[in-house]
Amino acid sequence: MHEILPGALWLGNQFSVGFPEAMTGIVPRCALKMLKERHITHILCVIDKTPLFTNVGLKYLTIPMSDSSSFDLIGCLSRTNAFLSNAIKDGGIVLVHCQMGQSRSSAVVIAFLMFSKGWSFDVAYQHVKLCRSFINPVRFRPQLLRYEEGLSNTTKRHPVLHEE
């Protein structure tokens, strides 16, 4: 699990939220403890998983996304951006995760940084890559570039989070 925006946004994999590690099958024993230590209040899950920690005050949004270039990432971004924006605006700390924490979740986080900070794809990608070196949203790059173009043609950025 890696911090992307200090005190606001983390990026991780399914292991971060208590599911077995995708490659080894190892089950984490301290996932809830790690979430609490990082003061995570919200979880955005972009794989088809039922939340494990349901009665501990965490707020979840699950949007199952396929790790395929044909998946309509842009069609999900209004919901993911709203969830992230509202959580952060309310003082929450969000963890975004997929299975490996490399493609789907990193694409969502990059899109959110473009939306909320007004960053270009390149700046958002480099920032996330600096924080979590093994991201690989290559399947979603064309859609993220189209999304960037759409953002540059509008002023629909989040007024609370956008820094001039």
- pLDDT band with cut points at 50, 70 and 90 for residue 160: very low
pTM: 0.89
- Cα–Cα distance for residue pair 143/100, rounded to 1 Å: 20
Q: Considering only residues 28 and 121, tell me which one the structure prediction assigns the higher pLDDT.
A: 121
Is the CB of residue 135 less than 8 Å from the CB of residue 13? no
Q: What's residue 164's pLDDT?
A: 39
Pick the CATH number of 2-152 from 3.40.1260.10, 3.30.2350.10, 3.30.420.10, 3.90.190.10: 3.90.190.10
Q: What is the pLDDT of residues 41-97, one digit of tens each?
A: 999 999 988 877 777 889 999 999 999 999 999 999 999 999 999 999 999 999 999
- Going from N- to C-terminal start, the domains of the chain cover 2-152
| Residues catalogued as catalytic | 98
Q: What is the pLDDT of residues 91-129, one digit of tens each?
A: 999 999 999 989 999 999 999 999 999 999 999 999 999
- Cα–Cα distance for residue pair 129/70, rounded to 1 Å: 23
Query: How many angstroms from the chain centroid is the CA of residue 52?
Result: 18
* Residue 57 buriedness (CB in 10 A; 0-12 / 13-18 / 19+): exposed
